[in-house]
């Protein structure tokens, strides 16, 4: 039996749609990162980008469990003295919830050119509409709805 290695000629990509309403941010991020890497496919190859395109809608309706909404901070440092900026996740989720998901997913991907290439296949939107209807995305369910 021969080992199958995925390459640019044999990879098959599809568009997947994820509805993030009432699901914790970390749960959405971890499952989306696995799809972007291609770990859900039997032809997964660690050194090749074999993942699918992912569209995430309703990021403004994602939830954070516990006290994270008030206590968790997003920090960005410019590299200059006094350049540390902090914003609470309460404000971040209210204004830029799609960015909050992108930060979480990016942290779960490889920290190299392969991870940057995988990250380009992620598309996040606040509302229920998206401009990718021509690609005919297949809707998938993410388990773990908060009640």
Query: Is 37 part of a structural domain of the chain?
Result: yes
Q: For the chain, list residues with pLDDT below 50.
A: none
**In terms of residue numbers, what domain contains 49?**
15-64+96-140
Number of domains in the chain: 1
Q: What is the pLDDT of residue 128?
A: 95
pTM for the full predicted model: 0.92
Residue 90 counted as domain residue: no
State the pLDDT at residue 2: 85
Asked if 72 contacts 93 with a C-beta cutoff of 8 angstroms, the reply is no
What's the pLDDT score for residue 13? Answer: 94
Residue 136's pLDDT is what? 96
The string of pLDDT tens digits covering residues 13-41 is 999 999 999 999 999 999 999 999 999 99
How distant, in Å, are the alpha carbons of 14, 26, 120 from that of 139? 11, 19, 19
What CATH number is attached to the domain comprising 44?
Answer: 3.90.1180.10
Within-domain flag for 6: no
Whether 27 maps to a domain, the answer reads yes
Q: Residues 103, 85: contact at Cβ < 8 Å?
A: no
Within a domain: 33:
yes
What is the spatial distance between Cα 16 and Cα 141, in angstroms, rounded to a whole number? 10
End-to-end CA distance of the chain: 48
Collapsing DSSP to helix, strand or coil, 9 comes out as: coil
- How confident is the model at residue 147, as a pLDDT? 62
Domain for residue 25, yes or no? Answer: yes
Does residue 22 fall inside a structural domain?
Answer: yes
pLDDT of residue 107: 97
Is 110 among the domain residues? Answer: yes
């Amino acid at each position: 039996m021969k080992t199958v290695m995925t390459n640019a000629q044999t990879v098959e990509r599809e568009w997947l749609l994820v509805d993030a309403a009432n699901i914790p941010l970390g749960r959405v991020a971890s499952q989306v990162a696995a799809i972007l890497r291609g770990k859900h496919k039997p032809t997964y190859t660690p050194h090749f980008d074999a993942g699918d395109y992912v569209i995430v809608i309703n990021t403004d309706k994602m939830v954070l469990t516990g006290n994270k909404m008030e206590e968790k901070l997003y920090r960005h440092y410019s590299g200059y003295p006094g350049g540390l900026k902090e914003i609470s996740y309460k404000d971040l989720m209210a204004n830029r919830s799609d960015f909050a998901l992108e930060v979480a997913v990016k942290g779960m991907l490889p920290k190299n050119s392969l991870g940057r290439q995988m990250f380009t296949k992620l598309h996040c939107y606040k509302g229920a509409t998206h401009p990718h209807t021509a690609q005919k995305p297949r809707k998938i369910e993410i388990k773990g709805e908060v009640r």
